[in-house]
Amino acid sequence: MGFLGFILLGLIAGAIAKAIMPGKQGGGWIATLLLGVVGAILGGWLGSVIFNKGLEEFWDLSTWLLAIAGALVVLFIWGLVTKRTAH
């Protein structure tokens, strides 16, 4: 996957993670992009360690699931750090 594909994957995965996670996360599209990119990196790393499956192809379902799961983990940790969890 190329650089632009990875950025697009991060932006979309971050937006989906924000839509799934309850509560108000705040931040604009740049924060969502950073969340998604960091989440995709984390999800790809965890996927390669646990499932022997990384972020290989843009259109592969496992790539999207790993990126979204990683973004959810990052968003959850960010909520704990900033104390913006769901009330």
Task: Give the structural domain span for 30.
Answer: 3-84
For residue 87, pLDDT over 70 is answered with no
pLDDT at 61 (0 to 100): 93
If one counts the domains in the chain, the total is 1
66-84 confidence digits (pLDDT tens): 999 999 999 999 888 887 5
Name the nearest CA neighbour of 9 among 77, 72, 63, 70: 63
Does the pTM surpass 0.85? The reply is: yes
17-51 confidence digits (pLDDT tens): 999 998 777 788 899 999 999 999 999 999 999 99
Give, in order, the Cα–Cα distances in Å from 80 to each of 3, 11, 15, 31, 86: 30, 22, 19, 16, 10
Q: Report the C-alpha gap between 24 and 42 in whole angstroms.
A: 22
